[in-house]
A = this chain, B = another copy of it.
Protein backbone atom coordinates (compact mmCIF):
# COMPACT_ATOMS: atom_id res chain seq x y z
CA UNK A 1 0.00 0.00 0.00
CA UNK A 2 1.00 3.59 -0.46
CA UNK A 3 3.07 4.94 2.42
CA UNK A 4 4.82 1.64 3.13
CA UNK A 5 8.52 1.42 2.33
CA UNK A 6 8.99 -0.21 -1.06
CA UNK A 7 11.71 -2.49 0.25
CA UNK A 8 11.32 -3.60 3.88
CA UNK A 9 14.96 -4.23 4.62
CA UNK A 10 16.78 -5.51 7.68
CA UNK A 11 19.26 -2.79 8.60
CA UNK A 12 21.95 -5.29 9.59
CA UNK A 13 22.61 -7.13 6.33
CA UNK A 14 25.33 -4.80 5.08
CA UNK A 15 27.82 -2.84 7.19
CA UNK A 16 27.58 0.94 7.11
CA UNK A 17 30.89 1.00 5.24
CA UNK A 18 29.53 -1.30 2.53
CA UNK A 19 26.38 0.78 2.14
CA UNK A 20 28.50 3.94 2.02
CA UNK A 21 30.58 2.39 -0.75
CA UNK A 22 27.43 1.46 -2.66
CA UNK A 23 26.14 4.97 -2.31
CA UNK A 24 29.50 6.39 -3.46
CA UNK A 25 29.37 4.13 -6.53
CA UNK A 26 25.92 5.48 -7.37
CA UNK A 27 27.05 9.09 -6.89
CA UNK A 28 30.07 8.56 -9.15
CA UNK A 29 27.89 7.03 -11.86
CA UNK A 30 25.26 9.77 -11.66
CA UNK A 31 27.96 12.44 -11.88
CA UNK A 32 29.01 11.03 -15.27
CA UNK A 33 29.64 7.33 -15.58
CA UNK A 34 31.32 7.39 -18.97
CA UNK A 35 28.90 4.73 -20.21
CA UNK A 36 27.76 6.88 -23.14
CA UNK A 37 31.36 7.31 -24.28
CA UNK A 38 31.77 3.54 -24.45
CA UNK A 39 28.57 3.20 -26.50
CA UNK A 40 29.75 5.96 -28.82
CA UNK A 41 33.15 4.35 -29.25
CA UNK A 42 31.66 0.92 -29.98
CA UNK A 43 29.06 2.18 -32.45
CA UNK A 44 31.46 4.54 -34.25
CA UNK A 45 34.67 2.49 -34.28
CA UNK A 46 33.00 -0.89 -34.84
CA UNK A 47 29.40 -0.22 -35.89
CA UNK A 48 27.03 -3.15 -36.49
CA UNK A 49 28.62 -6.44 -35.38
CA UNK A 50 26.71 -9.44 -36.59
CA UNK A 51 27.64 -12.75 -34.96
CA UNK A 52 30.57 -14.38 -36.74
CA UNK A 53 31.31 -11.35 -38.93
CA UNK A 54 34.62 -9.50 -39.30
CA UNK A 55 32.99 -6.65 -37.34
CA UNK A 56 32.27 -9.04 -34.48
CA UNK A 57 35.99 -9.89 -34.41
CA UNK A 58 36.78 -6.19 -34.35
CA UNK A 59 34.39 -5.82 -31.41
CA UNK A 60 36.35 -8.48 -29.48
CA UNK A 61 39.56 -6.52 -30.00
CA UNK A 62 37.75 -3.35 -29.02
CA UNK A 63 36.41 -4.92 -25.81
CA UNK A 64 39.76 -6.45 -24.90
CA UNK A 65 41.42 -3.05 -25.36
CA UNK A 66 38.80 -1.36 -23.14
CA UNK A 67 39.29 -3.95 -20.38
CA UNK A 68 43.06 -3.42 -20.57
CA UNK A 69 42.67 0.35 -20.36
CA UNK A 70 40.54 -0.10 -17.27
CA UNK A 71 43.28 -2.18 -15.65
CA UNK A 72 41.12 -5.26 -15.10
CA UNK A 73 42.60 -8.71 -14.57
CA UNK A 74 42.00 -12.15 -16.06
CA UNK A 75 41.06 -10.66 -19.44
CA UNK A 76 40.03 -13.45 -21.80
CA UNK A 77 38.66 -13.78 -25.32
CA UNK A 78 36.93 -17.14 -25.23
CA UNK A 79 36.12 -18.49 -28.67
CA UNK A 80 33.20 -20.58 -29.83
CA UNK A 81 31.62 -21.46 -33.15
CA UNK A 82 28.46 -19.97 -34.60
CA UNK A 83 26.49 -20.50 -37.80
CA UNK A 84 27.15 -17.48 -40.01
CA UNK A 85 24.55 -15.70 -42.10
CA UNK A 86 24.53 -12.61 -44.29
CA UNK A 87 21.74 -10.39 -45.46
CA UNK A 88 21.54 -9.61 -49.20
CA UNK A 89 19.14 -7.68 -51.38
CA UNK A 90 15.79 -7.04 -49.72
CA UNK A 91 12.76 -5.92 -51.63
CA UNK A 92 9.03 -6.49 -51.50
CA UNK A 93 6.13 -4.97 -53.35
CA UNK A 94 2.44 -5.40 -53.91
CA UNK A 95 2.00 -6.03 -57.62
CA UNK A 96 -1.80 -6.12 -57.81
CA UNK A 97 -4.53 -4.94 -57.53
CA UNK A 98 -2.52 -1.75 -56.90
CA UNK A 99 1.26 -1.39 -56.94
CA UNK A 100 3.01 -0.50 -53.71
CA UNK A 101 6.60 -0.71 -52.56
CA UNK A 102 6.89 -2.40 -49.15
CA UNK A 103 9.71 -1.94 -46.64
CA UNK A 104 10.85 -5.45 -45.71
CA UNK A 105 13.79 -7.14 -44.06
CA UNK A 106 14.74 -10.80 -43.86
CA UNK A 107 14.38 -12.51 -40.52
CA UNK A 108 17.77 -13.61 -39.24
CA UNK A 109 18.89 -16.94 -40.77
CA UNK A 110 16.06 -16.85 -43.32
CA UNK A 111 16.81 -18.95 -46.38
CA UNK A 112 17.16 -17.00 -49.60
CA UNK A 113 14.53 -16.54 -52.27
CA UNK A 114 15.50 -17.29 -55.87
CA UNK A 115 17.33 -14.28 -57.37
CA UNK A 116 14.11 -13.15 -59.08
CA UNK A 117 12.21 -13.53 -55.84
CA UNK A 118 8.87 -15.14 -55.15
CA UNK A 119 5.63 -13.77 -56.55
CA UNK A 120 2.49 -15.23 -55.04
CA UNK A 121 -0.96 -14.43 -53.67
CA UNK A 122 -1.08 -13.38 -50.03
CA UNK A 123 -3.21 -15.01 -47.35
CA UNK A 124 -3.54 -13.05 -44.13
CA UNK A 125 -3.76 -14.39 -40.56
CA UNK A 126 -4.34 -12.50 -37.34
CA UNK A 127 -1.99 -14.70 -35.32
CA UNK A 128 0.42 -17.61 -35.42
CA UNK A 129 -2.32 -19.75 -33.88
CA UNK A 130 -4.64 -18.93 -36.77
CA UNK A 131 -1.91 -19.86 -39.24
CA UNK A 132 -1.35 -23.14 -37.39
CA UNK A 133 -5.10 -23.82 -37.56
CA UNK A 134 -5.29 -23.35 -41.35
CA UNK A 135 -6.33 -26.48 -43.28
CA UNK A 136 -3.51 -28.70 -44.57
CA UNK A 137 -2.33 -27.65 -48.02
CA UNK A 138 -4.47 -24.52 -47.96
CA UNK A 139 -1.45 -22.28 -48.49
CA UNK A 140 0.02 -24.20 -51.42
CA UNK A 141 1.83 -21.67 -53.62
CA UNK A 142 0.85 -18.78 -51.35
CA UNK A 143 2.68 -16.27 -49.18
CA UNK A 144 1.38 -16.32 -45.61
CA UNK A 145 1.09 -12.94 -43.89
CA UNK A 146 0.76 -12.94 -40.09
CA UNK A 147 -0.43 -9.59 -38.83
CA UNK A 148 -0.15 -9.79 -35.03
CA UNK A 149 0.39 -6.34 -33.45
CA UNK A 150 2.77 -5.97 -30.54
CA UNK A 151 1.57 -4.07 -27.45
CA UNK A 152 3.65 -1.29 -25.92
CA UNK A 153 4.40 -2.09 -22.26
CA UNK A 154 6.97 -0.60 -19.89
CA UNK A 155 8.46 -3.98 -19.08
CA UNK A 156 8.48 -5.24 -22.65
CA UNK A 157 5.78 -7.81 -21.90
CA UNK A 158 4.28 -7.27 -25.35
CA UNK A 159 7.35 -8.85 -26.93
CA UNK A 160 6.77 -12.28 -25.48
CA UNK A 161 3.15 -12.19 -26.59
CA UNK A 162 4.05 -11.33 -30.19
CA UNK A 163 7.47 -12.80 -30.96
CA UNK A 164 6.40 -16.43 -31.32
CA UNK A 165 5.58 -16.01 -34.99
CA UNK A 166 9.11 -14.86 -35.74
CA UNK A 167 10.59 -18.16 -34.64
CA UNK A 168 7.79 -20.57 -35.44
CA UNK A 169 6.08 -18.84 -38.37
CA UNK A 170 8.24 -20.23 -41.20
CA UNK A 171 7.70 -23.81 -40.06
CA UNK A 172 3.97 -23.32 -39.55
CA UNK A 173 3.51 -21.64 -42.95
CA UNK A 174 5.59 -24.29 -44.74
CA UNK A 175 3.54 -27.08 -43.15
CA UNK A 176 0.47 -25.65 -44.90
CA UNK A 177 2.29 -25.43 -48.22
CA UNK A 178 3.27 -21.75 -48.23
CA UNK A 179 6.23 -20.65 -50.36
CA UNK A 180 7.08 -17.63 -48.21
CA UNK A 181 6.20 -15.86 -44.99
CA UNK A 182 5.76 -12.19 -44.21
CA UNK A 183 5.10 -11.03 -40.67
CA UNK A 184 4.17 -7.66 -39.22
CA UNK A 185 7.33 -6.48 -37.47
CA UNK A 186 7.63 -7.30 -33.79
CA UNK A 187 7.90 -3.64 -32.82
CA UNK A 188 5.89 -0.82 -31.31
CA UNK A 189 6.76 2.04 -33.66
CA UNK A 190 4.88 3.39 -36.63
CA UNK A 191 7.86 4.11 -38.87
CA UNK A 192 8.88 2.34 -42.04
CA UNK A 193 11.63 0.31 -40.39
CA UNK A 194 11.16 -3.45 -40.49
CA UNK A 195 12.42 -5.30 -37.40
CA UNK A 196 14.66 -8.31 -37.94
CA UNK A 197 15.42 -11.06 -35.40
CA UNK A 198 16.30 -14.72 -35.45
CA UNK A 199 13.98 -17.30 -36.94
CA UNK A 200 14.40 -21.07 -37.10
CA UNK A 201 13.46 -24.03 -39.24
CA UNK A 202 12.29 -27.50 -38.30
CA UNK A 203 13.87 -30.68 -39.60
CA UNK A 204 11.76 -32.37 -42.25
CA UNK A 205 9.80 -29.24 -43.14
CA UNK A 206 10.67 -27.16 -46.22
CA UNK A 207 12.61 -24.05 -45.21
CA UNK A 208 10.83 -21.05 -46.78
CA UNK A 209 12.09 -17.45 -46.92
CA UNK A 210 10.69 -15.20 -44.21
CA UNK A 211 10.66 -11.44 -43.83
CA UNK A 212 9.16 -8.73 -41.66
CA UNK A 213 7.26 -5.72 -42.95
CA UNK A 214 7.43 -2.39 -41.14
CA UNK A 215 4.27 -1.54 -39.24
CA UNK A 216 3.11 1.12 -41.77
CA UNK A 217 3.71 -1.37 -44.59
CA UNK A 218 1.73 -4.08 -42.78
CA UNK A 219 -1.03 -1.48 -42.38
CA UNK A 220 -0.90 -0.72 -46.09
CA UNK A 221 -1.00 -4.40 -47.04
CA UNK A 222 -4.11 -4.70 -44.86
CA UNK A 223 -5.73 -1.77 -46.64
CA UNK A 224 -5.00 -3.27 -50.02
CA UNK A 225 -6.37 -6.64 -48.85
CA UNK A 226 -9.49 -4.78 -47.68
CA UNK A 227 -10.18 -3.77 -51.29
CA UNK A 228 -11.48 -7.33 -51.57
CA UNK A 229 -9.51 -8.48 -54.61
CA UNK A 230 -6.72 -11.08 -54.73
CA UNK A 231 -3.44 -9.47 -53.67
CA UNK A 232 -0.20 -10.51 -55.31
CA UNK A 233 3.11 -9.77 -53.61
CA UNK A 234 6.68 -10.13 -54.78
CA UNK A 235 9.46 -10.68 -52.26
CA UNK A 236 13.19 -10.82 -52.87
CA UNK A 237 15.35 -11.75 -49.88
CA UNK A 238 18.74 -12.86 -51.11
CA UNK A 239 20.37 -13.90 -47.86
CA UNK A 240 23.23 -16.37 -47.56
CA UNK A 241 24.26 -18.99 -44.99
CA UNK A 242 28.01 -18.63 -44.26
CA UNK A 243 28.69 -21.93 -42.52
CA UNK A 244 30.37 -22.27 -39.12
CA UNK A 245 32.33 -19.16 -38.11
CA UNK A 246 34.42 -18.21 -35.13
CA UNK A 247 33.04 -15.84 -32.51
CA UNK A 248 33.86 -15.19 -28.84
CA UNK A 249 32.88 -13.93 -25.41
CA UNK A 250 35.18 -11.33 -23.89
CA UNK A 251 35.54 -11.23 -20.10
CA UNK A 252 37.60 -9.57 -17.40
CA UNK A 253 37.60 -9.38 -13.62
CA UNK A 254 38.12 -7.33 -10.52
CA UNK A 255 39.45 -9.96 -8.11
CA UNK A 256 37.65 -10.34 -4.80
CA UNK A 257 39.59 -9.32 -1.67
CA UNK A 258 38.26 -12.12 0.59
CA UNK A 259 36.53 -14.73 -1.58
CA UNK A 260 38.27 -14.39 -4.94
CA UNK A 261 36.94 -17.69 -6.32
CA UNK A 262 33.30 -16.65 -5.78
CA UNK A 263 32.00 -14.70 -8.75
CA UNK A 264 29.35 -12.08 -9.47
CA UNK A 265 28.73 -11.83 -13.21
CA UNK A 266 27.57 -8.56 -14.75
CA UNK A 267 27.04 -8.95 -18.45
CA UNK A 268 25.79 -7.54 -21.73
CA UNK A 269 26.08 -8.76 -25.30
CA UNK A 270 28.63 -7.43 -27.69
CA UNK A 271 27.05 -8.65 -30.92
CA UNK A 272 24.19 -6.83 -32.66
CA UNK A 273 22.00 -7.13 -35.68
CA UNK A 274 23.38 -5.71 -38.91
CA UNK A 275 20.77 -3.06 -39.76
CA UNK A 276 21.49 -0.38 -37.15
CA UNK A 277 24.60 0.20 -35.09
CA UNK A 278 23.27 -1.70 -32.09
CA UNK A 279 23.38 1.33 -29.81
CA UNK A 280 20.40 0.28 -27.70
CA UNK A 281 20.74 -3.46 -28.36
CA UNK A 282 23.11 -3.91 -26.79
CA UNK A 283 25.67 -1.12 -27.02
CA UNK A 284 23.96 0.45 -24.03
CA UNK A 285 24.47 -2.70 -21.98
CA UNK A 286 28.13 -2.86 -23.02
CA UNK A 287 28.49 0.78 -21.93
CA UNK A 288 26.86 0.03 -18.58
CA UNK A 289 29.13 -2.97 -17.93
CA UNK A 290 32.33 -1.13 -18.86
CA UNK A 291 31.39 2.00 -16.91
CA UNK A 292 30.46 -0.14 -13.91
CA UNK A 293 33.87 -1.81 -14.16
CA UNK A 294 35.58 1.58 -14.29
CA UNK A 295 33.74 2.86 -11.22
CA UNK A 296 34.17 -0.30 -9.14
CA UNK A 297 37.84 -0.40 -10.08
CA UNK A 298 38.17 3.17 -8.79
CA UNK A 299 36.94 2.24 -5.30
CA UNK A 300 39.46 2.34 -2.40
CA UNK A 301 39.18 -1.40 -1.88
CA UNK A 302 38.20 -4.34 -4.07
CA UNK A 303 34.86 -6.06 -3.47
CA UNK A 304 34.73 -9.08 -1.13
CA UNK A 305 34.04 -11.48 -4.00
CA UNK A 306 35.26 -11.31 -7.61
CA UNK A 307 33.17 -9.30 -10.05
CA UNK A 308 33.40 -10.67 -13.56
CA UNK A 309 32.42 -8.48 -16.50
CA UNK A 310 31.26 -10.62 -19.40
CA UNK A 311 30.54 -9.32 -22.90
CA UNK A 312 28.76 -12.19 -24.60
CA UNK A 313 29.01 -12.88 -28.32
CA UNK A 314 26.28 -14.17 -30.64
CA UNK A 315 23.33 -13.46 -28.33
CA UNK A 316 21.10 -12.44 -31.22
CA UNK A 317 21.39 -15.72 -33.04
CA UNK A 318 20.30 -17.91 -30.14
CA UNK A 319 22.38 -17.15 -27.01
CA UNK A 320 25.29 -19.02 -28.57
CA UNK A 321 27.86 -17.15 -26.50
CA UNK A 322 25.88 -17.65 -23.31
CA UNK A 323 25.71 -21.42 -23.78
CA UNK A 324 29.42 -21.46 -24.60
CA UNK A 325 30.17 -19.55 -21.38
CA UNK A 326 28.03 -21.90 -19.30
CA UNK A 327 29.84 -24.88 -20.80
CA UNK A 328 33.35 -23.44 -20.64
CA UNK A 329 32.81 -22.31 -17.03
CA UNK A 330 30.71 -25.28 -15.90
CA UNK A 331 33.13 -26.18 -13.10
CA UNK A 332 32.89 -22.66 -11.70
CA UNK A 333 29.12 -22.32 -11.81
CA UNK A 334 28.58 -23.47 -8.20
CA UNK A 335 30.87 -20.59 -7.24
CA UNK A 336 28.76 -18.04 -9.16
CA UNK A 337 27.30 -15.85 -6.42
CA UNK A 338 24.93 -14.08 -8.82
CA UNK A 339 24.45 -13.06 -12.41
CA UNK A 340 22.76 -10.11 -14.09
CA UNK A 341 22.70 -8.64 -17.59
CA UNK A 342 21.86 -5.24 -19.07
CA UNK A 343 20.09 -5.98 -22.37
CA UNK A 344 17.00 -3.82 -22.54
CA UNK A 345 18.12 -0.43 -23.75
CA UNK A 346 19.66 2.64 -22.25
CA UNK A 347 17.73 3.13 -19.04
CA UNK A 348 16.65 4.18 -16.56
CA UNK A 349 16.39 1.12 -14.31
CA UNK A 350 12.94 1.24 -12.74
CA UNK A 351 12.50 -2.10 -10.95
CA UNK A 352 14.56 -4.62 -9.01
CA UNK A 353 13.82 -8.23 -8.22
CA UNK A 354 15.98 -11.20 -7.40
CA UNK A 355 16.05 -14.95 -7.54
CA UNK A 356 18.13 -15.82 -4.46
CA UNK A 357 17.81 -18.80 -2.10
CA UNK A 358 15.19 -18.21 0.62
CA UNK A 359 17.81 -17.65 3.34
CA UNK A 360 19.17 -14.73 1.29
CA UNK A 361 15.86 -12.88 1.06
CA UNK A 362 17.13 -10.23 3.54
CA UNK A 363 20.05 -9.60 1.17
CA UNK A 364 17.64 -9.01 -1.74
CA UNK A 365 15.60 -6.66 0.44
CA UNK A 366 18.70 -4.78 1.54
CA UNK A 367 19.93 -4.44 -2.05
CA UNK A 368 16.46 -3.17 -3.04
CA UNK A 369 16.63 -0.57 -0.28
CA UNK A 370 20.07 0.54 -1.45
CA UNK A 371 18.75 0.90 -5.01
CA UNK A 372 15.61 2.82 -3.97
CA UNK A 373 17.30 6.27 -4.01
CA UNK A 374 17.70 5.77 -7.79
CA UNK A 375 13.91 5.64 -8.13
CA UNK A 376 13.83 1.84 -8.29
CA UNK A 377 10.82 -0.08 -6.96
CA UNK A 378 10.20 -3.83 -6.49
CA UNK A 379 9.59 -5.67 -9.75
CA UNK A 380 6.98 -8.35 -10.32
CA UNK A 381 7.77 -12.02 -9.80
CA UNK A 382 11.28 -13.40 -9.77
CA UNK A 383 14.18 -12.31 -11.92
CA UNK A 384 15.50 -14.04 -15.03
CA UNK A 385 18.69 -12.02 -14.89
CA UNK A 386 18.65 -11.35 -18.64
CA UNK A 387 18.89 -13.54 -21.76
CA UNK A 388 22.57 -14.47 -21.53
CA UNK A 389 22.18 -15.29 -17.83
CA UNK A 390 19.50 -17.86 -18.73
CA UNK A 391 21.94 -20.75 -19.26
CA UNK A 392 23.50 -19.94 -15.85
CA UNK A 393 20.13 -19.71 -14.10
CA UNK A 394 19.34 -23.08 -15.67
CA UNK A 395 22.27 -24.44 -13.63
CA UNK A 396 21.08 -22.85 -10.37
CA UNK A 397 22.99 -19.58 -10.44
CA UNK A 398 21.11 -16.86 -8.48
CA UNK A 399 20.10 -13.83 -10.51
CA UNK A 400 19.40 -10.16 -9.98
CA UNK A 401 16.95 -8.42 -12.26
CA UNK A 402 17.45 -4.72 -12.86
CA UNK A 403 14.40 -3.84 -14.94
CA UNK A 404 15.12 -1.15 -17.51
CA UNK A 405 12.32 1.10 -18.75
CA UNK A 406 11.40 -0.50 -22.05
CA UNK A 407 8.54 1.78 -23.02
CA UNK A 408 10.30 2.87 -26.24
CA UNK A 409 12.75 -0.02 -26.58
CA UNK A 410 10.74 -1.89 -29.20
CA UNK A 411 10.41 1.23 -31.34
CA UNK A 412 14.04 0.69 -32.35
CA UNK A 413 14.83 -2.93 -31.50
CA UNK A 414 16.46 -4.82 -34.40
CA UNK A 415 15.94 -1.96 -36.89
CA UNK A 416 18.22 0.33 -38.87
CA UNK A 417 17.05 3.05 -36.49
CA UNK A 418 18.89 1.59 -33.46
CA UNK A 419 21.53 4.31 -33.46
CA UNK A 420 23.40 6.41 -30.91
CA UNK A 421 21.03 9.39 -31.05
CA UNK A 422 18.49 7.24 -29.18
CA UNK A 423 20.77 6.97 -26.12
CA UNK A 424 20.34 9.56 -23.33
CA UNK A 425 23.62 9.82 -21.39
CA UNK A 426 21.88 10.78 -18.13
CA UNK A 427 19.54 7.80 -18.19
CA UNK A 428 22.49 5.56 -18.99
CA UNK A 429 24.34 6.98 -15.96
CA UNK A 430 21.40 6.05 -13.74
CA UNK A 431 21.36 2.53 -15.16
CA UNK A 432 25.10 2.26 -14.59
CA UNK A 433 24.60 3.39 -10.98
CA UNK A 434 22.06 0.61 -10.50
CA UNK A 435 24.06 -2.19 -12.13
CA UNK A 436 27.34 -1.18 -10.50
CA UNK A 437 25.90 -0.90 -7.01
CA UNK A 438 24.00 -4.16 -7.44
CA UNK A 439 27.21 -5.94 -8.45
CA UNK A 440 29.03 -4.38 -5.53
CA UNK A 441 26.42 -5.41 -2.97
CA UNK A 442 26.01 -8.93 -4.36
CA UNK A 443 29.79 -9.28 -4.11
CA UNK A 444 29.81 -7.91 -0.55
CA UNK A 445 26.87 -10.00 0.69
CA UNK A 446 27.41 -11.71 4.08
CA UNK A 447 26.17 -15.04 2.75
CA UNK A 448 25.89 -17.08 -0.42
CA UNK A 449 22.85 -16.10 -2.53
CA UNK A 450 22.44 -19.59 -3.95
CA UNK A 451 22.13 -22.19 -5.09
CA UNK A 452 18.59 -21.73 -6.33
CA UNK A 453 16.40 -24.31 -8.09
CA UNK A 454 17.50 -24.78 -11.70
CA UNK A 455 15.31 -22.63 -13.98
CA UNK A 456 13.62 -24.25 -16.92
CA UNK A 457 15.06 -22.84 -20.16
Contact = CB atoms under 8 A, between A and B. Distances in A.
Interface of A: 40, 44-48, 98-101, 103, 190-193, 215-216, 219-220, 223-224, 227, 276-277, 416-417, 419-422
17 contacts: A40-B223, A44-B98, A44-B220, A44-B224, A44-B227, A45-B98, A45-B227, A46-B98, A190-B421, A190-B422, A191-B191, A192-B276, A192-B417, A192-B419, A216-B420, A219-B420, A220-B277
A99 B49 CA distance: 12
Contacts of A192: 193, 276, 416-417, 419
A224 B44 CA distance: 7
Nearest to A45: B98
Contact of A419 (B216, B227, B417): B216
Given A44-B223, A220-B419, 18 more contacts: A44-B224, A45-B227, A46-B98, A47-B99, A47-B100, A100-B277, A190-B421, A191-B191, A191-B193, A192-B193, A192-B276, A192-B416, A215-B421, A219-B419, A219-B421, A220-B277, A220-B420, A223-B420
A277 B223 CA distance: 13
Contacts of A417: 191-192, 216
Nearest to A415: B192
A421 B224 CA distance: 15
Nearest to A274: B101
A417 B411 CA distance: 14
Nearest to A40: B223
A44 B216 CA distance: 12
A45 B421 CA distance: 36
A421 B45 CA distance: 36
Nearest to A100: B47
A436 to B, nearest CB: 26
Contacts of A216: 417, 419-421
A47 B190 CA distance: 18
A99 B46 CA distance: 8
A179 B422 CA distance: 33
A40 to B, nearest CB: 7
A195 to B, nearest CB: 13
Contacts of A40: 223
The 5 closest A-B pairs by CB, nearest first: A216-B419, A190-B421, A44-B223, A192-B416, A216-B421
Most B C-beta atoms less than 10 A away, residue of A47, A100, A191, A420:
A191
Contacts of A223: 40, 44, 420
A416 B214 CA distance: 11
A88 to B, nearest CB: 14
Contacts of A420: 216, 219-220, 223
Contacts of A99: 47
Contacts of A46: 98
A394 to B, nearest CB: 37
A191 B417 CA distance: 6
A47 B421 contact: no
